[in-house]
Amino acid sequence: DAKTTQPNSMESNEEEPVHLPCNHSTISGTDYIHWYRQLPSQGPEYVIHGLTSNVNNRMASLAIAEDRKSSTLILHRATLRDAAVYYCILRDSWTQGGSEKLVFGKGTKLTVNP
Amino acid sequence: SAVISQKPSRDICQRGTSLTIQCQVDSQVTMMFWYRQQPGQSLTLIATANQGSEATYESGFVIDKFPISRPNLTFSTLTVSNLSPEDSSIYLCSVRGNTEAFFGQGTRLTVV
C-alpha cells in the first residue's frame, strides 16, 4: 500500500492561509490523492481530490507536485471551524472483497487560533 | 451524496457483553465499510460488508469478534462481542460515492 507522510500538527491564525503538506514518494501512476478532514466528535468528511493537476473547490485547493511525490492542501482563509485532523490518503488497491478501501494515516491536527 | 445514520451514538457496556451498532444509509449502496478509531488514533478498516455475502475482514479482525450483518442495500450492523476495555473506541460506518466516501457520525463505545 502506498503511504503518506504528514506533520503531526500545525497551527494557524484565523483568516490566514494554511498550507498542509503531504509526502507520498511511493505513489503509483494511477493513485488519486484524496484529502479528508475529521472535525471533533464527527466522522471524516471529504475535502478534495486530484490526480495530476491542481484542483480547486469551495472548501480548498490542492496543489500537486509535478513528480506527484508530494501535495499541499491549501485553505485560503482559515476559520475556527477548520480546526480538525486532516488526512492525506492515496486511493488504495482493491481489498480482498474487490473494492477500494481508504487507508488512513495519522493525519495533521490543525489548530486555528482566534 | 449519502446520509448515514448510526445508532447508538454512544454507549457504556460491561465487559463480557456485546454491543450491536446499526448503520442506515439513505440510498442503496453495494458496499458498506466498518472502521474502528481507538482513542487518539486514526481510523482502521475492520471489514467490508456486501449485501448477500459474507463480510470481508481486514488482517487482525475476525468474524467471531466482529460479526456483521448486511440484510439489504441500505442497512448494516456491526456487533462487537465479548467486550473488553481494549474495545473502547469509536466505530464508524462508511459508504463510497462516485468520487468520495461518506461516514457516519460514529458510535463511541466505552467498556467498563
pLDDT of B67-100, one tens digit each?
Answer: 999 999 999 999 999 999 999 999 999 998 877 8
Query: Among B42, B99, B103, whose Cβ lies nearest the Cβ of A43?
Result: B103
pLDDT score at A102: 83
Question: Given pLDDT bands bounded at 50, 70 and 90, which one contains residue A2?
Answer: low
Provide the b/e sequence for A17-34 (b: ≥16 CB within 10 Å).
ebebebbbeebeeebebb
Hey, is the C-beta of A59 within 8 angstroms of any chain B C-beta?
A: no
| pLDDT over 60 (residue A98) | no
B92-to-A23, A46, A53, A114 alpha-carbon distances in Å: 27, 15, 32, 31
Distance from CA of B92 to the nearest CA of A (A): 7
| pLDDT over 80 (residue A92) | no
Mean pLDDT of chain A: 89
pLDDT tens-digit map of B3-19: 999 999 999 999 999 99
Rounded CA gap, B44 and A104, in Å?
7
Hey, is the C-beta of A36 within 8 angstroms of any chain B C-beta?
A: yes
| pLDDT over 60 (residue A49) | yes
| pLDDT over 90 (residue A20) | yes
pLDDT score at A100: 66
